[in-house]
Each structure stands twice: as structure tokens, then as C-alpha cells.
Structure 1
């Protein structure tokens, strides 16, 4: 059944009949030129006959191909009468000479030419209405039957069957005649009577248009119950985080066209046929589109998404923190519109305009155009808005939603009337991609321009480091999408603000390098070189953790982790050299036996006093410093203890041995080993 419907739809197309008529004319003319009838009439071929017949054939074929042009003239009575007379004269002459030469049995070429000319006449009757097409069809069918009977009278059945098939085929389609049945009487109608008839036609058409509106409203009334059920499903979909998953089967169940009564559909189809048959196809399409468009836009605006509230002018005025909810609602509304509402309108147009594909395409576009533009305007406003980095992830959400809908746009809007909507969707999609690339550039500039000269307290982590690394980790969730964006950008670079060669890897690497440069500049602000090293260690440790605990390690360049590990080790060594190496310098023991014992004692007393002062000062200062990572803090303290405590124990033991027996050493030895450990435990607490 579906195949039959497709065949019927195919046969309704004017273009099909145009080329079918052209092909039939060519076959008929060629076969007639080869037939015995032609030879009996005109004799053997020569160059002049070939030339004249070729010109004649060219004219006939040209007339067949331009049959649609006659349609504009065929409403003129004088044109119709004169053209019908011309065809009548030609067929009469053909019939006269044909009867003279067809005393014997016709050959196969004559049969084929008659059948081909009959099909050509049927084609003409489907394209224009000059008043002779049906008569021409009957003439050639009659010729075919007569020729078959001359061969063998039983072949009458074949000829009659073929003729009956063509006549039934023609009668099964709606008539395209635009004039009353009594065309013979119209030859004598005067101008004022014609004017009266035109006025009467306007009244009839107006009545038909009103009937059309009534039928369309009936469709919407029949569909109301299903719509209310659909809204209940949508309410649940819009209120939670669920996804819209629709298979082809339950898509049909969501908004059934079957819910519309067959009587309503039949009434609408008949009304449309009547209006189109009197030449008001565009008016018919316009009225239908107006009714359905208002219904569709009201449904979308009232129940799904307030397009007027979120117009291009208003979108960029909304604070960015408040636009997340509208974006989520837009994404869901777009899916409902493109995957459910628009396909339903497409099927409905094809149904009610069955046999008028051009009107169906035009009506569908007019119905959906306004809603589609509203949807795309919201996305385009985001694409053309601010390039601030915090917008990236919301723009990515819209980009991904539109990317997933592009195939639906391409399948829905593929005819000549709606192709501009498909192109507009693709353009907005590309603009979103450009906006994403531009936001990356803006992020890079924001890091570079963060030129604060104030040192952070205690070498703490800069807010921009935390912001950038968390930002890059979130980017990992959109990795595949961003790779697509940058790949497309590489192929279509037309923005001077964006690098001409880029990829996600390149952009991430650039951001990391700019961040490193920023940190190096900030480290120079500190007056204490040891504190500068602690600041850089904090940063490197945080960066390494974020890279290792996410997909950043897979996206960034292979040597990124090694670079930051090397920087961390270098800064730790510099920290030791600039602080604790100075402390342990005072704990070195002079083993030169030539030096007198009293001089050794004096030297060790001075070293111990210097150690006590420097150790006290370093512990006091570095207890106000802060190491973010607790494990790193513990590792640094353990490393200091391993170097300091053994050296301090050896020094104290030697100091006690060189002091005179019985002398009080407590006033020189200020810290026991446990005291040293306790003071080291207070380091990097930020207090």
C-alpha cells in the first residue's frame, strides 16, 4: 500500500509528466518516421525531408517541454479557442491522409507511435488546459485500436484495455481545468459577462477559503486531546534532568495524526483540491500556513520557551549566572520542536496537500519558519555575545545541542522553499564554533593581563592558578566536541582575532605556557627568595595534581608533566639553599687539631649562638608561610629534619666534649632535638 501511495505521489508531480510527455513525443516521432504510413505518404527520405521533419520534431518537443507556460495563457479565451482550432485542423489532416494509406496492415512502428502520442496527450492534459488535450488523447487511442483491429480483430481487447487504463489513470487525478464545463458556449460570451463570472468566482473562492480555515481549525480541535497528553509528558521532561529519548515508534505516538478524524482530513483535502483547481494554490497555502503557524508558535511560546523574553536584544542583557536555566530550557525546547513538532507538521502537510507537493513544501516552510528563526536567534545571540571565559561551557552546551540537531534540520528543510532555514542553522552552528575558539583566546589574554604586583600572603596559591586548572579540567568533559571545533576552525579560518593554526592540544599548551610565564613574573615580587620558591612549589604541586587526577595528562603535551616536576625539584633545591643550608653551615665542625682548644670552644659557642638566632628567625618567619598540600608540607618538613637533626646532634655532642669539665652548657644549648622537631612541625601553617 505504501508503494502505491508513493507511485501516486510521484505521478502527481508536474515535472514527471513534463519529461514523460517529452520522451513519449520523441519515441512517437521517431517511430512514425520509420513506419510504412510515413513512407506511403511522403516517399523515401532525402536531405530536405530529413531537415523539414527534424525542424517539425524540434518544434513539437519544444512545445511539450514548455507546456507549463501555456498555463498562464490558457485562461485567455481567445488563446484557447485558436489553439484548439489549430490542433483540430492538424489532427483532421493527419486523419485524412492516414485513412488513404492505411488500407493494409500497419507495422509495429505505427502502433508504437500511436501509443506514444496517446501518452504524450495524457501528459499534456496533466500540465495545461487549452481545451484540446483530452480530445487529442481520445484521437490517438482510437487510431491505436483501429490499427490493432486491422492486424487481427481480437487485438481490439488489447487496444481497449490500454485505452481504458490511460483514461482511468487520468480520471483518478484531480482536474486542473480552470474554466467551466461549457467551454463551447464561452466563445460567444461578451466582456461584461466574463467580468460577472470573475466576480462570482471571487465569491466562491472566498467561501472556499473560509471553509479551509474551518477545516484547519477542526484539525487543531481534534488534536487538542493528544496535545494535552503530550504537555503532561513534557512537563516531566522539563522539570527534571532526564533526556528526551524518542524512537521512531513512540515518536508517532507522541503527536498522532491518526488522532485527527478521517472525515476532517477528507474535508480538508477536498477543499484544497477545489481551491487549487481554480488557480488559487498560493492563497490556499497561505491560509493553511497562517492557521497552523499561529497554533505552533503559541504552543512553543506559551508552553515550552518564551522566545519574546529571550530575544536577541534581551539575551545579552541577562546576567551570565542567571542564563543557565534558560539555556537548558532552550535545549529541551529545541529538541521537542525539531524532533517532534516540525516532523508532525511535515507529515500533516504531506497528508492534506496530497498530490500537490509544491504547495505542501511551501506550507510546511511557512508554518515552521517563524519558530525556527526564534530558536536560532537565541543561539546566535549567545554566539555573538561576550567572549568572557566563564561563558564557554554554556556556549558549548548550545553548540552540542545544535550539532546533534543539524541532521534533523537537513532532513526536514531540504526542499527549495526551506533550504534557507537549513543553511541558517548551519551558519549559527559555525558561529558558535567561532565563539568557542575566540573564548579560548580571551582566556589566554586574561591570564597574560593578570599583572598584579602584590605578593600573595605566605606564598599561597594564586587564585588564577586555581581558576585556570579547574577550568582546564572542566574542558576535559567537552574534549571530543572541542577537538571537532578546532578541527573545523583550522579548515575555515576567517577571524583575525584567532590563531590561523590551532587545535585543542595547541590551545591548552599555549594556556599552560602563559600561566607559567605569569607565575614566574609573580615569583619575582617576593623579597625573600625562599618564599618565592615556596610560592612556585605550591603552584607546581597544585598543577601536577590537577593534571594527574584528570584527563589533562592525555590532552596536554607529553613533556608537560616532566617540565613541572623538574620545576618543582629546582624550586625545592633553591628553597633549601636559600634558607636551611645557611642554618646547617653553622653546624659544621672544624676538625683541625692544630687549633688550640680554647679557640675551638669559642668558635663553637659563636656558631651555636648564630644557629640559635637563625633557626629561631627562620621558624618564626616560615611558620607564617603556607603550603597548600598537606602531604607536600609533611615531605618538606621530613626532608629538613633528615638534614638538620643529624648535623645538630653531632654538633651538640662535639660541643659538650670540648667544653671544660663541669662547665654549664645549658645556657648555650637552647634547643634539644625534640625542641627542633616541635618547631619544624609549626612550619608552613600560615599562622
Structure 2
């Protein structure tokens, strides 16, 4: 039919415009939209010279209405005989004919068959049926075959509307209006259905399921989302309605387990409905795939993605909260005490690793299952959720890095640094899942920035550890010459730090600043020239090995040399020189044993340091023996006892008296001294016994007989050689009770 006649076009719902019309008039209006081109022919003849039609009688109108009602009744009977599946072939042929007409620039589009009108009405009736049973509950999944058939019909409806759009003629406007109205109604329903399915797992795990099921998310980000989606649509077809309608129906359905591994149906039999994240059963995944595919084909990709973004972000936030990680602002992190913050950091590390190793991998598998043939859409959604979740986690790391720096925070900072460092390769290996190089670079930049902040903080904390040594100005010596608390703290701290040796090497190479590598000089101006020379020698040796050591190793050795200098200064607080050497011996031996007991710290300081430290301890040992026992041995010296070739008894008596007095004093004082290292304690006792017992035994054997047996012997020979050995074994116990026992 030529288009030289005016066409009267009414929308599908024009019959509802006037509520005052009679039922018959409404029925006429209802049937008019598809018959407009027929009635227009009655107004004109081929020569355009016919007059207006004569007025019709009421009887003629009644007959016409009766005929229309009969035709409608017959049409309804015919509609009941056909299903959507049976009409699909006719729709496909009609769409094909429309496409051919559009490609051929034909001004005469094909006739609208009754099957086409019937198909649109069938879809409208089906959506009314779905809406009537919805009532804020999920409809899809109750009838899997029916859902698949309905979605296939919706896809054909989308194809029909797109084909009509391709025509330039207004002849199809009534059908376009009706198709557009029905399709929009379907999309509104599918969008809500998709939201309910995606939010169902969140509701099941929420403390307030009722509020969750009734929540309505706003579409505030829809405009920006449309712009972002345009960049993804450039290399993909926006309306791929020619793809197989059967794709996505059951064949790719899977149970998403933790880590994203699919599980077979046999394994699902007899299982509870509780599923690991992202909490979707195979049936739910199939329903989501059907709905999403239908929305994208209909041109509603933006709305579809918006539902996904809102629902999945909310699901992830709920999951993070379930794992124990709540959102904490930067200000709150700054105000927290270290003990609770340390617990939050431990939780953060576990959650971060769980996200990258399990949750996001499961999310990736989920998107691949929902969008098996739409890689761009899958990339976009995965990119968005990855960035959103990692950004939340990275913000916490940045806030922690900005807290006040203290020595006890170093190891947690390093744990966080390693967690972020290990995530960057994970992001790089997931490059195919990212929409563009720019988005991956942006995510890597966020991770790198937070990691750098933590690395800088770690270097600063370790370098500032010197201040904790320099800042100790206590003037009270450690009781009994024991190991200084700062020695224990420093060596344990360094030993633990060396367990992070590789990480600390990395952060020092990347973040060590010039001002933090200033040469240390800690010479005590009150020290003797020997001590000054010793410190200078140590610094020279350090300079010689600087090229061999990494920045971290150099800083660690600097701290240990600083500790040496500190201990030298603290040893001067002891007035007793013997106790001073015991103190230096204790601390030197403790440092040496810590280094030898840790492979990591031993590798950093090297064998030269160990040999030098062992030499220092031997030097302290010899100095102690010389200072303590040389005077005692002088009493046992045989020189000066003879006068005119005979033993001068008064001198001998004085020698024994001095020996008894000195030995009693040593026993009284040094039994309270402490040598905590058992091996060192044993070495000291053995060395003392090796010198004292033979000398005393020989002296008593040679000169003891000079005294008159009885009171004189008891007065001057107070100790037997065995007693000397027993007393020596009581030294360095730190227990004065042994003295009290001997007096009883």
C-alpha cells in the first residue's frame, strides 16, 4: 500500500485518555490503533473526489459493534490456541522481513499480521502474570522452562522494536508504541527481579532481613555510569539480538564455591542451602544470566550494570563486616590507642588476603558465569568491584601509615607492607579481566602509594630506633651487673627485625633518605683514651665494610655499635671495677648469643662481628680475674715470708689473715652478683678454681704445719681447699642466702 494517504496513529493506551467515554467507544478506540490505515482508506477514493460519508444510523453502529465483538471473541479463541513459542517463528520471519525492507530502502514495509499483534499481547499478558505473583518476592526460578520461554520472547520483542526503529516510515508507529510500552514494562519488572535475586544473599546474612528485602537503591550514579559504559561499547555490539537465545540456559550453570570453583550437581545433592561467597546457587546464577542478557539485548545495559554495582558493593561490604572489618575513618584511626589498632591491623591483613585470594576470585567466576559472551561487561563490573573494595582496604592502610611512629609499630607496618606488595603482582596477573590499561594503572597506583607510605614509615621507625638508645639517661646501674633491659629489648627487636630482612632490605633501598644515613658518632668525652680508640676502630671497621653491607645491614650494625657505646657508658656507674666487668661480660655475651642463635641476624652482621664480640667478652673476663683475684693470689705468694732463711711467723699469720678477709669479702659480695648465661657462669667458676684451688692447696700444705695444732690452726687456716671449691661454686648466683647458710 502506498504511503500517499495520511496515517492516523494512536498510542497503545489511547483508550484510557478519556474516562467519560462509553465502554463501546473505548472498545472502538482499542481496535482502532492497528486498523488506522484501513479506516483512512474509507475517507478517500482513487480520484480524491468523494464527499464525506453519510451519517450512519444507530442500528448500523450496533451491527458494527456486534461484528467487532464477534471478531474479538474469535481472536481471543485463536490466541488461546497459540503459545509464545509457537508464535516465535512468525515473529522471526517478520523481523527478518523488516530488516530486509530497511536494507533495500523499500517504502512498502510488510503487512502486520495478526500473529505479530497476538505475540505482543501474549508478552503483555505474561508480564501481568509475573507482576501479580511478585509482591516483593522473587518470581524467577519457580518455573525454569517458563522463565526461559518468557526471556526468549522478550529478546524477540527487543529485536522487533529495533527492527521497527530501522524503518523511516510512520506506518509502524502504532506497533512501535505498543511494543515499546510492553518492553519497558518488562524491563522495569526484570530490573526489580534482578535486584531481588542479587540482594537475596545479603538479606539472608543480614541481621535485619526484612529491612533489606524492602530497601530500594537509588540510581544516583546512573548518568555517570552511562558515560563510563560508552567506552566499553565502542568495541562491542550494544544489541546482540542475533545470538542464540538458548545461550546461558543451564549449560553454564554452576555452584560458586569459595575461590570460584564450580561444583557438580551430584555434589550438591543433599547439601544445605548455605553457600560460600558470593552465595548464589546454580539456579540463581541461571536466572541472573537470563535477566541480564535480556536487559542488555533490549538496550538496558546501563540499568543492568547499575543494579549489579549497587548490589555487589553492598554484598562485599556486608561480607567484610562479617569477616570483622568495619569501616574506620582516618580520624578514628589517628585517635585509636596502639593495642586496639594492632588488633584492627591483624584483622585487616586477614581480610585483605581473603579478598584477593578468595572473594574477588569468586566474584570473577561469578561474572564470567553470568556474562559468558559479554567480556566487556564482565570486565567493567569486575573492575569496578575490585577497585571499590581494594580502595576501602587501601584507605585503612594509608590511615595507619599516618599515625604517630613508634618502635613497637614496625612489625605490623611491615606486615601491611608485605600484604600490599604481594597484591601488585596479583593485579598484574589479572590484567585480562581489566577493561583498560588505565584502570589497572590507577589501581596499581593506589596500592603502590599506600605501600610506599608504609615503607617510608618503616624506614623512619627503624632509623629512629637510635633515639630510644640515646634517650636513655638513667643514672642507676642495673643491680648485680645483670643484662641491661635495653640490651634485651634491642637485641630481641633486631633479631625479630631480621626475620623481615628481605622486606627491610627492599624498603631501605626504596625509601631511605640521605639525612637518615648520617654517620653515627657517639664517643663519650669522659671515656678513657683506650675506649675512644676502641670506638674509632669500630667505626673504621664499619666504614671498611659499608660497601659490602646493604643500607639495612649498615643501619643495624650502627644500632649495635651504638648499644656497645651505651653499655660502656653505663658500666661506669659501677664503682666496683670487678662488677663493671661482670656487667660488660653479661651484656656482651647476651648480644653474642642472640646473634649466634639467629641465622637471619648472623647473616646481616657477619662472622667478623661475632669474632670481635667474642674477643671483647674474653677481654672482660681476663680483666675481671685480674681485678678480683690478683690481690687474693698475692696473699698466697711465698716471697717475703722468710727472714734470715726461716719462715717469719707473724708475716705468715698476716698473709692468712688477709686471705681470709679478702676471700670472705669476695664471697659475700659476688655471691649476689648475677651471670645469667649458664655457660659463661661455668667458665668463670672453672677459671677461678683453676687458679685459686691449686695455689691455696699448695700454700696450706707447705705453711699450715707451722701453726700450733688447735686454736691457732683454726684461727688462721679458716678454709680447707675443698671449702674454697665449694665457695667458688656459689659465686654469681645472685642469691645471698648461701652466705647466711655458711654462717649458721
Instruction: Please give the alpha-carbon distance, in whole angstroms, between the structure 1 residues aligned to 2:570 and 2:414.
Output: 32
- 1:483 matched to 2:502? The reply is yes
User: For residue 353 of structure 2, what is the aligned residue in structure 1?
Assistant: 335
* Alpha-carbon distance, 1:251 to partner: 9.2
- CA 513–651 in structure 1, closer or farther in 2 if over 3 Å, else same: same
Instruction: Please give the alpha-carbon distance, in whole angstroms, between the structure 2 residues aligned to 1:631 and 1:652.
Output: 31
Instruction: Please give the alpha-carbon distance, in whole angstroms, between the structure 2 residues aligned to 1:384 and 1:283.
Output: 40
- 1:460 matched to 2:508? The reply is no
Q: Contact between 2:352 and 2:393, CA under 8 Å: does it hold in 1?
A: yes
Q: Contact between 1:389 and 1:440, CA under 8 Å: does it hold in 2?
A: yes
Q: Contact between 1:537 and 1:571, CA under 8 Å: does it hold in 2?
A: yes
Instruction: Please give the alpha-carbon distance, in whole angstroms, between the structure 1 residues aligned to 2:185 and 2:448.
Output: 40
User: For residue 246 of structure 2, what is the aligned residue in structure 1?
Assistant: none
- 1:667 matched to 2:715? The reply is yes
Of the structure 1 ranges 548-557 and 208-217, higher mean CA displacement relative to structure 2 is found in 208-217
Instruction: Please give the alpha-carbon distance, in whole angstroms, between the structure 2 residues aligned to 1:578 and 1:247.
Output: 70
Of the structure 1 ranges 660-669 and 524-533, higher mean CA displacement relative to structure 2 is found in 660-669
Q: Contact between 1:346 and 1:364, CA under 8 Å: does it hold in 2?
A: yes
Q: 1:268 aligns with which of 278, 283, 292?
A: 292
Instruction: Please give the alpha-carbon distance, in whole angstroms, between the structure 2 residues aligned to 1:505 and 1:282.
Output: 56
Instruction: Please give the alpha-carbon distance, in whole angstroms, between the structure 2 residues aligned to 1:545 and 1:222.
Output: 57
User: For residue 521 of structure 1, what is the aligned residue in structure 2?
Assistant: 569
* Alpha-carbon distance, 1:666 to partner: 3.3
- 1:380 matched to 2:418? The reply is no
- SS of the equivalent of 2:716 reads coil
User: For residue 312 of structure 1, what is the aligned residue in structure 2?
Assistant: 330
Q: Contact between 1:597 and 1:658, CA under 8 Å: does it hold in 2?
A: no
User: For residue 28 of structure 2, what is the aligned residue in structure 1?
Assistant: none
Q: Contact between 2:195 and 2:307, CA under 8 Å: does it hold in 1?
A: no
- SS of the equivalent of 1:559 reads helix
Instruction: Please give the alpha-carbon distance, in whole angstroms, between the structure 1 residues aligned to 2:406 and 2:511.
Output: 23
- CA 449–207 in structure 1, closer or farther in 2 if over 3 Å, else same: farther
Deviations 1:302-355 (A, max 9, x none): x113322x4433334443334454333323322332233223333444555566
Deviations 1:372-427 (A, max 9, x none): 22212222233333332222222233333333333333344643374222321232
Q: 1:588 aligns with which of 625, 637, 640?
A: 637
In structure 1, list runs of 5 or more residues that go unmatched: 1-130, 137-170, 229-244
- 1:564 matched to 2:613? The reply is yes
- How is 1:217-616 mapped onto 2 (pairs within 5 angstroms)? 217-221=196-200, 249=261, 258-276=282-300, 281-301=301-321, 303-308=322-327, 310-350=328-368, 352=370, 357-412=375-430, 414-416=434-436, 418-419=439-440, 420-478=442-500, 482-491=501-510, 493=512, 496-497=515-516, 502-551=550-599, 552-590=601-639, 595=644, 597=646, 600-616=648-664
Higher helix share: 1
Instruction: Please give the alpha-carbon distance, in whole angstroms, between the structure 2 residues aligned to 1:495 and 1:289.
Output: 46
Instruction: Please give the alpha-carbon distance, in whole angstroms, between the structure 1 residues aligned to 2:494 and 2:696.
Output: 46
- 1:679 matched to 2:663? The reply is no
Q: Contact between 1:637 and 1:681, CA under 8 Å: does it hold in 2?
A: yes
Instruction: Please give the alpha-carbon distance, in whole angstroms, between the structure 1 residues aligned to 2:512 and 2:715.
Output: 77
Instruction: Please give the alpha-carbon distance, in whole angstroms, between the structure 1 residues aligned to 2:103 and 2:362.
Output: 39
Deviations 1:403-458 (A, max 9, x none): 33333333446433742223212322233333322222132321232232211111
* Alpha-carbon distance, 1:217 to partner: 2.5
- CA 588–215 in structure 1, closer or farther in 2 if over 3 Å, else same: same
Q: Contact between 1:483 and 1:503, CA under 8 Å: does it hold in 2?
A: no
Instruction: Please give the alpha-carbon distance, in whole angstroms, between the structure 2 residues aligned to 1:430 and 1:633.
Output: 48
- CA 385–499 in structure 1, closer or farther in 2 if over 3 Å, else same: farther
- CA 602–203 in structure 1, closer or farther in 2 if over 3 Å, else same: farther
* Alpha-carbon distance, 1:529 to partner: 0.9
Provide TM-score, normalisation by structure 2. 0.58
Instruction: Please give the alpha-carbon distance, in whole angstroms, between the structure 2 residues aligned to 1:263 and 1:287.
Output: 15
* Alpha-carbon distance, 1:257 to partner: 7.0
- SS of the equivalent of 2:607 reads coil
User: For residue 679 of structure 2, what is the aligned residue in structure 1?
Assistant: 631
- CA 344–357 in structure 1, closer or farther in 2 if over 3 Å, else same: same
- CA 533–593 in structure 1, closer or farther in 2 if over 3 Å, else same: closer
Deviations 1:63-90 (A, max 9, x none): xxxxxxxxxxxxxxxxxxxxxxxxxxxx
* Alpha-carbon distance, 1:269 to partner: 0.9
Aligned alpha-carbon RMSD (Å)? 4.2
* Alpha-carbon distance, 1:626 to partner: 1.2
